[in-house]
Structure 1
Amino acid sequence: MVVKEGESAWTPAELKEVLDELHGQRAHSSEIVAHHESELDGLLRNSGDGAGQDQADVGASSFERDYEMTVLSNERDKVAQIDRAVARIEDGTYGVCESCGQPIGKMRLMAFPRATLCMTCKQREERR
């Protein structure tokens, strides 16, 4: 695994800690995805055509559907990021910035194990 200059190499214990964190996050996000898929399925089944509902009820139902879809999309993205991080650990590319190819840094990865960009590239991306 790649590390920044001045950082020590990844130890098996540190790598296990990161993998445990990723697996825990994945399990949690998978539960959220299952819950929100169920909620959204119920909302879509009971959406009807709005007949007999006033505008506030229709608006509330629409807002709730949009909220469920947003949460579901975000959590699915998080699961994909986690799967990608685990794959990068397995293939030895974990810790390399996907933008500039420089090391991301152990401290950043331990704080945010799904990181794919070094701090410089992430800041540049956020300014856009």
Structure 2
Amino acid sequence: MAMTTETQAPVLNGEDPWTAAEFAEVRDGLQEEVDRLRADISAAESELAERMSDSTEGAGDDPADTGAKAYQREHDLALAYNTRDLLAQSERAIERMEAGTYGVCESCGNAIGKARLQVFPRATRCVKCKQRQERR
């Protein structure tokens, strides 16, 4: 069986090449995550819009209640931002798979490593480059 371009993602020395089934499993996992994150974002946006449109909310609240509601709103917005970021990373990983660049470190151009991608499929850097980035 000939390997398709899709399964020719680079691997580190000592790692077995990607099989079509392994690659499909990672791709399917990413797609499931994209679908779940989109649903989470939609639900969060609906909930935030509902809270914002309630014109009676806050009427008669004391300062502590107002502060608690503001804190909760900021917390919800931060979670929504984080969810959008994860969605973008997952979509980008799928795009890299389709473009044939999945598994290539964006910093040095070497292989990211099959084992790393199976655990963290959104990775865009090899371990060495990621460590260097985090030290900065």
CA displacement at 1:49 relative to structure 2: 8.7
Query: Superposed, which structure 2 residues align to 1:36-75 within 5 Å?
Result: 36-46=44-54, 50-75=58-83
Output the TM-score relative to the length of structure 2. Answer: 0.86
**Letter matched to residue 42 of structure 1:** E
Query: Higher mean Cα deviation, 51-60 or 39-48?
Result: 39-48
Query: Higher mean Cα deviation, 77-86 or 46-55?
Result: 46-55
Unaligned runs of 5+ in 2: 1-8
Output the TM-score relative to the length of structure 1. Answer: 0.91
What is the aligned counterpart of 1:114 among 104, 108, 122? 122
Cα distance in 2 for residues equivalent to 1:48 and 1:66: 19
Aligned residues: 128
CA displacement at 1:119 relative to structure 2: 0.8
Aligned to 1:70, what secondary structure does the other structure show? helix
Q: Are the equivalent residues in 2 in contact too, given 1:4–1:105 (CA < 8 A)?
A: yes
Residue 123 (str. 1) matches residue 131 (str. 2): yes
Residue 82 (str. 1) matches residue 90 (str. 2): yes
Superposed CA RMSD: 1.7
**Percent identity at matched positions?**
48
Query: Superposed, which structure 2 residues align to 1:12-51 within 5 Å?
Result: 12-46=20-54, 50-51=58-59
